[in-house]
Amino acid sequence: DGGITQSPKYLFRKEGQNVTLSCEQNLNHDAMYWYRQDPGQGLRLIYYSQIVNDFQKGDIAEGYSVSREKKESFPLTVTSAQKNPTAFYLCASSQGVFIYNEQFFGPGTRLTVL
């Protein structure tokens, strides 16, 4: 089955710790994205990547970091610098970024900071 997987589904972290969220896709998509969703809110873009070894900041990149070493993988690290990291994190992918940017989402990871 083609799709996007995110792991883990639930993640707990102590304040001051970095944590890495996994995102893998087997859709052969070039572009990948990370969004943050807070309760009752829409989606806010954290980072995106058009191709391997390249990524750009989204609207709320502070306190987050990413890497894109493989086409299939786009992990997100939530650093201790992120002041309010408790949220639902969504990964998405699309064929490209400029046209026909139909983004397909993974199931999400809910991060809770204790």
Partner 1 sequence: GQQLNQSPQSMFIQEGEDVSMNCTSSSIFNTWLWYKQDPGEGPVLLIALYKAGELTSNGRLTAQFGITRKDSFLNISASIPSDVGIYFCAGQAQGAQKLVFGQGTRLTINP
How far does Cα 41 stand from its chain's mean position? 17
Q: How far is the CB of 96 from partner 1 (least distance, A)?
A: 9
Q: How far is the CB of 97 from partner 1 (least distance, A)?
A: 4
3 close to 107: Cβ distance less than 8 angstroms: no
Instruction: Please tell me the distance from the alpha carbon of residue 71 to that of residue 50, in angstroms, as a whole number.
Output: 10
Q: Rank residues 11 and 43 by Cβ distance to partner 1 and give the closer one.
A: 43
Q: How far is the CB of 42 from partner 1 (least distance, A)?
A: 5
Instruction: Please tell me the distance from the alpha carbon of residue 56 to that of residue 107, in angstroms, as a whole number.
Output: 23
Q: How far is the CB of 43 from partner 1 (least distance, A)?
A: 5
Q: Rank residues 50 and 67 by Cβ distance to partner 1 and give the closer one.
A: 50
CA dihedral 97, 100, 106, 111 (to 10 degrees): 40
Interacting residues with partner 1 (CB under 8 A): 4, 6, 41-43, 45, 48, 50, 56, 58, 88, 90, 92, 97-108, 110
